[in-house]
């Protein structure tokens, strides 16, 4: 049978549930997206979709099927999804924020500096979208000749009043690359809380560090996120959970053969990290950064006057240090959602 239910992200982060990012717009920069039910029902919260890999990118409502991607869908929903398909269980901390989806990876699956620069400029070119936060979960390769251009684009966005968060990366023997290397970015590394509320099993996720980054850590393991409907993984999850339901209904007197089949199904569910028919656990700093973005959205809902420097200060001042871990790896420490929002309220 599947493992016992792991506490949800909300249960593990213990945020102040009065806040859910209402009135705050977060833009997510990623490889591609899907207009998932967790963003579209019961209220459509996708303000716009922008594909900066096009020659003349403009905000649109349409996400073409060829641009659908599990990565951007999951990074967005772990922060701003409302858990619609789970009855609200697998929701992010900013479950009532609006979102802008920015595709910045071309059809050759490359991340190009010019596309990241264009993505970082979307809030400046389109102030009508009201973007207050940019969460970036992709980056360029080390030594990219235009890394400095990306870092300057982060600085311009920050000076314009946009909070920029970037995933540190998952290569522990390498410093974060642009945009995570930008001084003005809030760079987020990962930690592994063991999927529990108990702090005694907390430890660092093997994320990139160096050059004064990351600035702080957020969960990078056991992160619940929705699968893209119709994908192989989603179809398999539906089939496995349907089979479990049938076996439970039919087996009034379970046989050894039934037990063997249940064990096989359970092992497969665990291996695939499925946690429900429509959700699975994901890992990596790609998800840590948007989690901090969701905390920032709560802070801005609590105090809309905060500037990017204020948000940074509040996040870092209220972070919890991880014992026995060097500052180079953890920065200020583990994000503390409720404490950060309390700090914002008191400003």
Spell out the domain ranges in the chain: 9-226+281-340, 232-274
Beta bridge partners of 188: 167, 216
| CB contact at 8 A, 275 and 316 | no
Length of the chain, in residues = 347
At residue 261, the pLDDT reads 83
Write the DSSP string, 192-250: E-TTSS-GGG-EE-----BTTB-SEEEE-SSEEEEPPTTSHHHHHHHHHHHHHHHHHHH
At residue 257, the pLDDT reads 63
| CB contact at 8 A, 222 and 192 | yes
Give Cα separations from 332 to 45, 67, 286 (angstroms): 32, 36, 19
At residue 248, the pLDDT reads 77
At residue 281, the pLDDT reads 97
Strands across the sheet containing 279-282: 223-226, 279-282, 274-276
Q: How far apart are CA 2 and CA 232, in angstroms?
A: 20
Beta bridge partners of 274: 280
Task: Give tens-digit pLDDT for 32-75.
Answer: 999 999 999 999 999 999 999 987 777 876 676 766 889 999 99
Q: Which residues of the chain have pLDDT under 50?
A: 1
Task: Give tens-digit pLDDT for 144-170.
Answer: 999 999 999 999 999 999 999 999 999
At residue 255, the pLDDT reads 64
Token pair 């009034």 is found at 252
Q: How far apart are CA 242 and CA 94, in angstroms?
A: 31
> Tokens in use for 278?
């429509």
Domain 9-226+281-340 falls in which CATH fold?
A: Rossmann fold (3.40.50)
Neighbours of 339 (CB within 10 A): 19
At residue 1, the pLDDT reads 47
């Amino acid at each position: 049978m599947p493992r016992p239910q792991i506490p949800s992200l909300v249960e593990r982060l213990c945020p102040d549930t009065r806040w859910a990012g209402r009135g705050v717009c977060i833009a997510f920069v990623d490889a591609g997206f899907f207009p998932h039910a967790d963003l579209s029902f019961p209220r459509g919260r996708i303000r716009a979709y922008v594909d900066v890999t096009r020659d003349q990118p403009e905000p649109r409502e349409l996400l073409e099927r060829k641009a659908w991607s599990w990565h951007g869908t999951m990074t967005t929903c772990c922060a701003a999804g409302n858990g619609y398909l789970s009855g609200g269980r697998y929701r992010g901390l900013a479950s009532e924020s609006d979102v802008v989806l920015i595709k910045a990876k071309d059809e050759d699956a490359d991340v190009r500096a010019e596309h990241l620069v264009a993505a970082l400029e979307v809030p400046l070119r389109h102030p009508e979208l009201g973007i207050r936060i940019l969460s970036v979960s992709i980056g360029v390769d080390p030594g990219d000749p235009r890394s400095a251009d990306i870092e300057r684009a982060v600085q311009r966005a920050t000076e314009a009043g946009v909070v920029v968060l970037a995933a540190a990366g998952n290569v522990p023997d390498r410093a974060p690359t642009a945009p995570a290397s930008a001084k003005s970015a809030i760079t987020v590394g990962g930690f592994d809380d063991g999927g529990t509320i108990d702090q005694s099993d907390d430890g660092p996720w093997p994320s990139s560090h160096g050059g004064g980054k990351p600035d702080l850590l957020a969960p990078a393991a056991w992160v619940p996120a929705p699968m893209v409907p119709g994908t192989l993984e989603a179809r398999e999850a539906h089939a496995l959970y349907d089979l479990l339901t049938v076996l439970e209904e039919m087996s009034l007197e379970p046989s050894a053969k039934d037990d063997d089949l249940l064990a096989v199904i359970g092992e497969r569910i665990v291996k695939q990290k499925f946690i429900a028919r429509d959700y699975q656990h994901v890992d990596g700093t790609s998800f840590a950064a948007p989690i901090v973005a969701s905390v920032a959205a709560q802070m801005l809902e609590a105090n809309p006057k905060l500037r990017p420097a204020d948000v940074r200060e509040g996040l870092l001042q209220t972070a919890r240090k991880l014992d026995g871990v060097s500052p180079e790896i953890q920065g200020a420490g583990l994000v503390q959602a409720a404490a950060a929002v309390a700090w914002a309220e008191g400003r």
